[in-house]
Amino acid sequence: MSAAIVETPPALVENGNIHCGFFKTPFRYANLLDARNPGGPVGRPFRWFRLKEWIGFGINHPRMYGSVLIQNAKYAASGTFYVYDKERARMCEQTMIANPFRVHLPETLWRGSARCVSRGGWIIFEHNLEDGCHRVKADLLKTRTAPAMYADLVFHQNLNDVDPLVVSLPIPPKHHTYTHKSPLRIEGVIRIDREEYRFDSARDRGNLDEQKTFYPYRTQWLWGCFSGFSAQGREVMVNFVNQMTEQGAPDEDALWVDGRIMLMGPVAFIRESEARTFRIEDKEGRVRLRFRGRDAKAEKRHYGIIAMDYAQHFGPYDGVVVDEQGTEYAIQEQFGALEEMKARF
């Protein structure tokens, strides 16, 4: 499959067939449930159950790193908000478990909303790519193990200034993944108990991760991402993955510099002896990074035939990335995530 980025068709699925490749803008209709497979022409309920969906935002601030996520795996759904205070080396996290039939993620982020609500609070996403922004609001009550957590953030995604990563790829032999990722500028406020973090869109960066995928029953991946600045002051984001798509074929590996995207070749995640520490490298020498995890948002679930062993580590990336012209960008202490997943679902 070519790694050329092409114009986006009107819908992800047309006449039962899923468009594959790399696209210039997010689909206005990411209608994977209209696909012919898996499940055949009468398999829509089966496809609904197999479709795993989430929308997540990475959040970087000089004093904290965090994430807010709404996901629906159909056997379970949840909303998660965590914050890691870099100065205090302290993590706060709340996860609300919800009824999968009551958590609906939008088919498109051009206009739409998602929400996860429980007795302990709520997380709401309001998406408006037409105007180049997403609003994230969260209000979670204090629990026995976590403080009260509040957020009111605007994530700016102006498609005139920032290229998105929009990828639709088969997972052999008969599954499929669709993702939309992007650097973001952040403004607004997060409050954790009495601690307040104010965001400035000229300084603070984040990342978007929208996913809709028919995963195989046995699933695994390694994913790494950060959005910030090089030592030279250029805006830099990376997104790298090892997943179950065709080995050696183009995947969602990408580098952004000042909002412009460059597709990259495959990378290797090399685990070091130190806990939560990895090297990320490619064969061409354009990626030479080291990730040192400070802590992790981890989940382990085992329900018989359904199981999940998941950890999103977070911490600083250091090293070098190289653009298509051979220009090197030094990366120093840029906080991001590195995620490990093994599941049966």
Render pLDDT for 177-220 as a digit per residue (tens, 0 to 9): 999 999 999 999 999 999 999 999 999 999 999 999 999 999 99
Q: Which residue has the higher pLDDT, 331 or 308?
A: 331
pLDDT score of 38: 79
- CB atoms under 10 Å from CB of 42, counted, come to 7
**325-345: average pLDDT:** 96
The pTM score is 0.96
pLDDT band at 304 (very low <50, low <70, confident <90, very high): confident
Residue 15 above 80 pLDDT?
Answer: yes
Residue 74 above 70 pLDDT?
Answer: yes
pLDDT score of 90: 97
Residue 2 above 70 pLDDT?
Answer: no
| Percent of the chain at pLDDT exceeding 90 | 89
Name the least confident of 44-53, 259-268, 299-308, 325-334. Answer: 299-308
pLDDT band at 1 (very low <50, low <70, confident <90, very high): low
**314-329: average pLDDT:** 98
Residue 269 above 90 pLDDT?
Answer: yes
Render pLDDT for 100-126 as a digit per residue (tens, 0 to 9): 999 999 999 999 999 999 999 999 999
Structure token pair of residue 307:
């199981």
Contact predicate 280/292, CB 8 Å = no
Contact predicate 290/278, CB 8 Å = yes
Q: Which residue has the higher pLDDT, 70 or 76?
A: 70
**How many angstroms separate the Cα of 201 from the Cα of each of 68, 81, 86, 234?**
18, 21, 20, 15
Q: Which of 263, 212, 261 is nearest to 1 (CA)?
A: 263
Mean pLDDT score of the chain: 95
